[in-house]
Amino acid sequence: MKKNIVLFVLFILPIVAYLFFASGINSFTKLPIITPKVADFGNWESLKGENVSLNNKITILGFSGTEILKNRGNFFNLNEKIYQQYHTFKDLQFVVICPLGTEKDAKKVVDALGAFTDVSQWHFVFTSPQEINSYYDQLKLVGKLDKNLGTPNVYIIDKVRNLRGRKKNKEYKEGYDTFHPADLSNEMLDDFKVILYEYRAALKKNHNATKEL
């Protein structure tokens, strides 16, 4: 009798636990909404001359500020830790809001990334300082832009324009620090995978799953 109990604890119980959590992940895992229904972009100029929108895209959103070249390491960290692994998904984009007048600096960053990366999902858009401040304010975040209209943080916005993160007091997370690669490799990557899982599960439920997402 004791032998059977030991065998059950050592072999059967772990398998049952695994199957339980594996089948229930969709019910228990969801990244909370920090700010619902954030505004879409205005008719802002894109470095590529494209019309960039948040609608129907999972967006990693950043604010470069005027010191793009000085902080270019942040873009390289984000590119290495997140972008290169996932940029082939057609419903994903990386968007950086920049002040007007920084187009040449942004082009240098994109060209440098393009030397070893497909940069088709990187989008730099440009607008006035007033509109940058106004747009950031409506995100209703705890963090603030610096005096140069930038922040090292990037934000996850889902397909229906909800800004997502962690809401529990001890682990509140509204953005992810691109200056620290460990923040991207750990917390952001974990949360980003949750977002992808949400959409994959929804597509599978609707019998409409695709390889792109």
Residue 28: what pLDDT?
Answer: 40
Residue 18: what pLDDT?
Answer: 42
Q: At what angle do helices 13-28 and 189-205 cross, to 10 degrees?
A: 80
CA distances from 117 to 109, 122, 130 (A): 12, 10, 33
Q: pLDDT digit of tens for each residue in the chain (213 aa)?
A: 555 554 454 555 555 444 444 443 333 468 999 999 999 998 998 999 998 999 999 999 999 999 999 999 999 999 999 999 999 998 999 999 999 999 999 999 999 999 999 999 999 999 999 999 999 999 999 999 999 999 999 999 999 999 999 998 788 999 999 999 999 999 999 999 999 999 888 777 666 544 444
Residue 169: what pLDDT?
Answer: 75
Spatial distance between the Cα atoms of 189 and 167, rounded to a whole number of angstroms: 17
